């Protein structure tokens, strides 16, 4: 030992050549992301700017698709070859528009000669390009490396990519896992992917809602019971731990488990041994995943600290939707994939595409306290209430205020002027929105308030009678019914033949 130390003292100092490695860069950069596009293959595509870089904004701007290949989401005949240019400096991004270029709307109003956006990690701006493409603008962390998709974890935001990486890494172990996150964020989906990528994937995953277990029967439900162990126990019960043997037991809402049961769970996890009610102790081979939306720290925690630490051999915190709003387009595509309606159904005309653009602008403006579950509930309501899709009163319906209020009809426009303008535009909402400083959702709401009908308010017989009265002229019949020609033909396409 002495000779070894002496030899080290005599050595010359060696230069350090190893470079610390990180799988991603923590640098935050301004990023455009495609949240809505008529072609769903373009969703999630990103363009990242550099500091002091001046970027030409237009059809030739090359984005990177979710699969890592180059794409051109602004390559659209309705979007100018040169919308203008943008420049980033000191956490501010300035967009300068070319005179005569097609529109870029922000908050329902066209950007004028130029506009400056203040960027930080909490701001996400929605830009509507010519009523064809919706881009988000945000300051994002830039990741490199694998971002392979997962069935239950949808999105391409850096936080979503980090979540998938954590799942893959933790799934390869046999550690117990505590999954935390607010309500509706997708904690059970995380558990499903942990099972799918684990070495136990060939064995069952059994899910149990701890909040739904009756307190007096919880122990027997989990650990099993011998015949006659309690009144009404006419046969032996295996319990969830033994049913999941060899596989995974997912305990959802673990924070709602009674204190006494938590003590029993702690012993079962530490020894991998359960006490069957009225029977002997038994060894079990099971991996435990647990989830809670409740706080796990401090006085607000309903979890016993010892149980929380034991469950947290590995810990995954699922980010809320408000921190990854750019994923809304991909999540919507996932939701509508098996449905014959929605933003990407076949045969949509320009007016429908424009209406969907406004929908996605509205969706980005909301802060989603119910997270992905609430988003899917809202998507289920869209496209059902009117001729064109519309998000109505998101904040009021759910008792929450939106992140930012969308512009409403100007108080200076009277009801008479509004109705006259609507008639002049042949009841086409998109045309009216271009002529007046009014957002499309506001037009729909005011139209409904003033009793202007939609095509669905008429019976087929009423429509056919109007056609006869106006010499089978679709435009005149639509005008008399106070609906747009496009809406009329969409419901009754045979009228255009």
Confidence check: pLDDT of 404 > 50? no
Task: State the pTM of this model.
Answer: 0.75
The boundaries of every CATH 3.40.50.300 domain in the chain are: 158-321
Question: Nearest-CA neighbor of 464 among 428, 491, 445, 446?
Answer: 491
Which of 31-35, 346-350, 441-445, 468-472 is the least confident region?
441-445
Q: How many CB atoms lie within 10 A of CB 114?
A: 13
State how far the Cα of 40 lies from the Cα of 325, in Å rounded to an integer: 17
Q: Are strands 114-118 and 109-110 parallel, antiparallel or unpaired?
A: unpaired
In the prediction, which pLDDT does 345 show? Answer: 87
In angstroms, the Cα distances linking 430 to 82, 373, 384, 435 are: 24, 30, 18, 9
Q: Are strands 281-283 and 54-57 parallel, antiparallel or unpaired?
A: unpaired
Strands in 124-129's sheet, in edge-to-edge order, are 70-71, 63-64, 46-48, 24-36, 133-143, 124-129, 104-106, 109-110
Question: Among 3.40.640.10, 2.170.8.10, 3.40.50.300, 3.90.1150.10, what is the CATH number of 158-321?
Answer: 3.40.50.300
Q: Are strands 205-209 and 248-252 parallel, antiparallel or unpaired?
A: parallel
Run of H or E including 222: helix 218-223
Confidence check: pLDDT of 146 > 60? no
What is the percentage of the chain residues whose pLDDT exceeds 70?
85
pLDDT tens readout for residues 423-455: 988 998 777 776 665 656 667 777 888 889 888
Confidence check: pLDDT of 166 > 90? yes
Query: What is the token pair recorded at 220?
Result: 């027997």
Which of 5-9, 181-185, 204-208 is the least confident region?
5-9
Q: CA 224, 228, 232, 235 torsion: positive or negative? A: positive
Provide the mean pLDDT of the chain.
84
State how far the Cα of 320 lies from the Cα of 160, in Å rounded to an integer: 10
Q: Exposed, middle or buried: residue 20 (CB in 10 Å: 0-12, 13-18, 19+)?
A: exposed
Residues 251/307, Cβ–Cβ less than 8 Å: no
Query: What is the token pair recorded at 216?
Result: 């007096």
How large is the C-alpha radius of gyration of the chain?
29
Confidence check: pLDDT of 85 > 90? yes
What band does 457 get if pLDDT is binned at 50, 70 and 90? confident
> What do you get for the CA distance between the two ends of the chain, in Å?
98
**Span 49-74, average pLDDT:** 91
In the prediction, which pLDDT does 399 show? Answer: 38
Which of residues 22 and 156 earns the better pLDDT score?
156
The boundaries of every CATH 2.60.200.20 domain in the chain are: 24-142
Q: What angle (nearest 5°) sits at the alpha carbon of residue 75, between those of residues 383 and 343?
A: 10
Query: What is the token pair recorded at 212?
Result: 């739904």
In the prediction, which pLDDT does 224 show? Answer: 84
Residues 296/180, Cβ–Cβ less than 8 Å: yes
State how far the Cα of 117 lies from the Cα of 98, in Å rounded to an integer: 18
State how far the Cα of 62 lies from the Cα of 342, in Å rounded to an integer: 27
Q: Which CATH architecture has domain 24-142?
A: Sandwich (2.60)
Confidence check: pLDDT of 178 > 90? yes
Main-chain phi, psi angles of 484, to 5 degrees? -85, 155
């Amino acid at each position: 030992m002495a000779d070894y130390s002496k030899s080290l003292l005599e050595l010359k100092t060696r230069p350090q050549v190893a470079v610390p490695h990180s799988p991603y860069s923590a640098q935050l950069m301004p990023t455009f992301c495609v949240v809505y596009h008529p072609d769903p293959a373009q969703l999630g595509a990103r363009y990242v700017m550099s500091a002091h870089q001046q970027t030409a904004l237009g059809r030739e701007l090359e984005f990177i698709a979710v699969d890592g290949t180059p794409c051109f989401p602004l390559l659209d005949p309705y979007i100018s070859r040169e919308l203008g240019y943008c420049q980033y400096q000191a956490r501010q991004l300035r967009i300068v528009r070319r005179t005569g270029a097609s529109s870029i709307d922000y908050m329902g109003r066209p950007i004028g000669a130029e506009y400056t956006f203040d960027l930080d990690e909490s701001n996400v701006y929605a830009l509507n390009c010519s009523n064809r493409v919706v881009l988000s603008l945000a300051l994002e962390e830039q990741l490199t490396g694998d971002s392979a998709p997962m069935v239950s974890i949808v999105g391409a935001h850096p936080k979503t990519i980090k979540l998938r990486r954590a799942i893959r890494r933790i799934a390869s172990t046999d550690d117990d896992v505590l999954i935390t996150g607010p309500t509706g964020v997708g904690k059970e989906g995380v558990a499903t992917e942990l099972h799918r990528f684990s070495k136990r994937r060939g064995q069952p995953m059994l899910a149990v809602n701890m909040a739904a277990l009756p307190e007096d029967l919880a122990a027997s439900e989990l650990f099993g019971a011998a015949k006659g162990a309690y009144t009404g126990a006419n046969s032996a019960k295996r319990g969830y731990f033994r049913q999941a043997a060899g596989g995974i037991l997912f305990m959802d809402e673990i924070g709602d488990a009674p204190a006494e049961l938590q003590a029993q769970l702690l012993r079962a996890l530490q020894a991998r041994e359960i006490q069957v009610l009225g029977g002997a102790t038994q060894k079990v081979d099971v991996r435990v995943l647990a989830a809670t939306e409740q706080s796990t720290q401090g006085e607000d925690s309903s979890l016993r600290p010892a149980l929380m630490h034991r469950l947290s051999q590995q810990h995954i915190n699922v980010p809320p939707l408000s921190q990854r709003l750019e994923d809304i387009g991909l999540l919507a595509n996932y939701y509508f994939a098996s449905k014959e309606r929605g933003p990407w159904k076949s045969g949509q005309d320009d007016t429908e595409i424009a209406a969907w653009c406004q929908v996605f602008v509205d969706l980005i403006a909301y802060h989603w306290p119910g997270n992905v579950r609430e988003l899917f509930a809202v998507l289920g309501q869209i496209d059902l209430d009117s001729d064109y899709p519309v998000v109505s009163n998101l904040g009021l319906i759910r008792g929450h205020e939106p992140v930012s209020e969308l512009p409403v009809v100007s108080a200076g426009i009277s009801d008479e002027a509004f109705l006259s303008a609507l008639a002049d535009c042949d009841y086409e909402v998109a045309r009216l929105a271009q002529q007046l400083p009014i957002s499309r959702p506001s037009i729909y709401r005011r139209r409904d308030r003033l009793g202007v009908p939609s095509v669905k308010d008429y019976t087929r017989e009423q429509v056919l009678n109007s056609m006869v009265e106006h010499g089978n002229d679709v435009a005149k019949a639509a005008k008399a019914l106070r609906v747009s020609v496009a809406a009329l033909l969409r419901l009754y396409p045979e009228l255009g033949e």
